[in-house]
Amino acid sequence: MEEKSFKYVIIGGGVSAGYAAREFVNQGVKHGELAIISKEAVAPYERPALSKGYMFPEGAARLPGFHTCVGSGGEKLLPEWYTDKGITLILSTEIVKADLASKTLVSADRETFKYEILVIATGSTVLRLTDFGVQGADSKNILYLREINDADKIVEVTKAKKKGKVVIVGGGYIGLELSAVMKLNHMDVTMVYPESWCMPRLFTADIASFYEEYYTNKGVHIIKGTVAVGFNINDHREVKAVKLKDGRVLEADIVVVGVGARPLMALFKGQVEEDKGGIKTDSFFKTSVDGVYAVGDVATFPMKMYNDIRRVEHVDHARKSAEQAVKAIYASQQGKTIDEYDYLPFFYSRSFDLTWQFYGDNVGDAVIFGNKNPISQNPKFGAYWVKDGKVVGTFLEGGSPEENKAIARVARARPAADDLDALAKTGLEFALMNLNASAN
């Protein structure tokens, strides 16, 4: 087949690809220089919409409504935008071989793509119960959520099994957000997870208790401390029940699994340096191979704030790392320098009438403040994490834009906080005072 050559190639068509494309245009990329190769059939889109608005029973989000870069308040990059900017979108194309030494990519259809500079933006893939050898995990109606095709399957099955029984396996982002949206679809929802409380990566037990009680009051059944070990199926190979390790058996018309993800980097194994489960990069997302950059979920990068290296799976980092890499590419070509990536960890979620934001590090002592009564009409509470006498992490449920900006500023500034009792009493005012002080 004919070989295609580009100066720049982005492999992967998720959030990072869209934001990288926009930055390439900002930097003056010429028509025909840039290609995006994606195994998905659609132009890059804001992936968080899939577990939120896409599943709504009414007024559901649909493309082209959430193409990048609308998620950060920017212009919506429709497919025609790429055409207008001279960017080649190569969709429904899976790369099965990457030879970084010869700067060559090969697709499943044996198409060959050559590049001068490669941006690896392959993201993550979901962990499947079949990966763990769970009996019956390949049955119909056992679903996962990562791409828009997955979301379409969930919507289709939800409509077919109206008011049916849904078991959500996992108590993280996917578990919490899909449990809420399934309940909005009038399904009978049970959420199962092995940990002692939900979202253990970020929440303390005290914070998690609010969400667990709130969800329970909304009619979501929660089973903690056990895992799915098998499934009962019918003659059509459809799931009928979930078998738990503690012996319980839960009836199920639909099972949605959200037990984590792993970075998609098998194509580059043995060709680039790795660290902490990702492709090791510097502060400009350059890898150990000249002309190859890695961004988003696959990148393990220096976390300047904390003087260590980390891999971060979140849309905010996917956006910002992509922009940083493209700026660095052009700076290098022009013999210039740019600032090192100085990332403040940021996570957020929305479900039911709730919305929370988290910034920084959840290490040290957690100080809870505010109204965390789950039956309150307008609950608003938060937390500060204090380590070595400084606030290093912040969390707020129900905050206004100004209040969320304030807790972000505190997490970055890391002000002193020696008296934890006084900090708890001051609560949100501590962040607002620090914001006002910095403004003055």
Phi/psi region, residue 27 (left: phi>0; alpha: psi -120 to 50; beta: rest), is alpha
Does an H or E element contain 355, and which?
A: strand 354-360
- pLDDT tens per residue across span 307-339: 999 999 999 999 999 999 999 999 999 999 999
- pLDDT tens per residue across span 86-132: 999 999 999 999 999 999 999 999 999 999 999 999 999 999 999 99
Query: Which domains occur in the chain, in start order?
Result: 3-125+262-333 (3.50.50.60), 129-259 (3.50.50.60), 353-439 (3.30.390.30)
Tokens of 123: 């993201």
Q: Is the pTM of this model over 0.85?
A: yes
- Residue 241, classed as helix, strand or coil, is strand
CA gap 26, 290 in Å, rounded: 23
- What one-letter code names the amino acid at 310? R
- pLDDT tens per residue across span 270-304: 999 999 999 999 999 999 999 999 999 999 999 99
- pLDDT tens per residue across span 231-256: 999 999 999 999 999 999 999 999 99
- At residue 52, the pLDDT reads 87
Residue 437: pLDDT band with limits 50, 70, 90: low
- pLDDT tens per residue across span 180-220: 999 999 999 999 999 999 999 999 999 999 999 999 999 99
- When pLDDT is averaged across residues 34-43 and rounded to a whole number, the result is 98
CA angle (369, 373, 378) in 5-degree steps: 90
- At residue 377, the pLDDT reads 87
Does an H or E element contain 89, and which?
A: strand 88-90
In terms of Cα–Cα distance, which of 285, 283, 309 is closest to 295?
285
- When pLDDT is averaged across residues 408-434 and rounded to a whole number, the result is 95
